[in-house]
Amino acid sequence: MRFNIKKAWWPAKDITLVKRAIRFAARRYGMKDLDLKVKLGKPSKRFYGFSSYDDDSGFKIWIYPSEALLRTVFHEMTHVKQQWYGELDLNAPGAPRWKGKKCKAKYYKQPWEIEAHKLEVVLLKEFLD
């Protein structure tokens, strides 16, 4: 897998930890040769992280420093997995598509968020074991 990490002022040990967690998640989800752009942001009150995919720029995740750093990585990597396998299409016209169907649910009811909130805990546990 290839990383393209943009960092500003993150401590080296946090960057190492995030890289290990990303590699772990990519292997766990069977995403071979994933080409991922990772942006490590400055502290934000609004976000822990987010992810995006499009054909031009590929897979991207943004991670912001917080006490939930590893959970955030596994959460965003779950969204990468969903887009990698075509389960989630956020760029579909009109509304996002989940497993081929339009979905207009609000954030906490979106099936991809429900899955990501569930799997972030599962992967965190596996990673720490």
Q: Which residues would be at the binding site for Zn ion (CB under 5 A)? A: 113, 116
Q: What is the spatial distance between Cα 81 and Cα 70, in angstroms, rounded to a whole number? A: 16
Q: Which residue is nearest to Zn ion (CB)?
A: 116
Give the 3-state secondary structure of residue 110: coil
Query: Which of 87, 113 has the CB closer to Zn ion?
Result: 113
Query: Which of 26, 73 has the CB closer to Zn ion?
Result: 73
In the complex, the smallest distance separating the C-beta of residue 79 from Zn ion, rounded to whole angstroms, is 6
Bridge-based pairing of strands 97-98 and 101-102 is antiparallel
**What 8-state DSSP symbol labels residue 108?**
G
In the complex, the smallest distance separating the C-beta of residue 77 from Zn ion, rounded to whole angstroms, is 11
Query: Which of 13, 118 has the CB closer to Zn ion?
Result: 118
In the complex, the smallest distance separating the C-beta of residue 113 from Zn ion, rounded to whole angstroms, is 5
Please state, in angstroms and as integers, the Cα–Cα distance from residue 5 to each residue in 8, 12, 17, 109, following that order: 10, 12, 13, 31
